[in-house]
Amino acid sequence: MKAILFCLENCAKCEATKEYFKNKKDIDVKIITFPHDFKQWTDKQKSIAEEYNIMEDLQITAPVLVVPDQIKLIGQLKIKQWIDNGYEEKMLSERCSDIRAKLKEAQKNAKKN
């Protein structure tokens, strides 16, 4: 599993979350750290934040975790709870929900035709 943890410099919650991931060997996490002051972000950092739809989130709180299928968790507590409560199971459940919704939509469209 590949996830990206977006952090801010000088952020205690970000540092605590990074430490938490060190004990989770089954989660492959890339850590990207931005300056705490938004005004100091480079154009490249702003582009990355926009690409992952986290710019507004990081201006409010950090850290933000983005996992495959664009699941986004905002804040240290939510990230920790997600990991502690079986992240793999939740990801599978969310994927199944997406598939069910797409199937219902396809069935609905088929009835119209």
Judged against a pLDDT cut of 90, whether residue 44 lies above it is answered with: yes
Question: Which of the pair, 17 or 27, is modelled with greater confidence?
Answer: 17
Judged against a pLDDT cut of 80, whether residue 36 lies above it is answered with: yes
Superfamily of 2-85 according to CATH: Glutaredoxin (3.40.30.10)
Per the prediction, the chain carries an average pLDDT of 83
Q: Which long-range contacts (CB under 8 A, 24 or more apart) does 54-63 make?
A: 54/6, 58/6, 58/8, 58/34, 61/13, 62/6, 62/7, 62/8, 62/11, 62/13, 62/14, 63/5, 63/6, 63/7, 63/8, 63/11, 63/13, 63/14, 63/17
pLDDT-derived band at 87 (thresholds 50, 70, 90) equals low
Q: What is the mean pLDDT of residues 73-92?
A: 76
pLDDT-derived band at 111 (thresholds 50, 70, 90) equals confident
- Tell me the whole-structure pTM to 2 decimals: 0.72
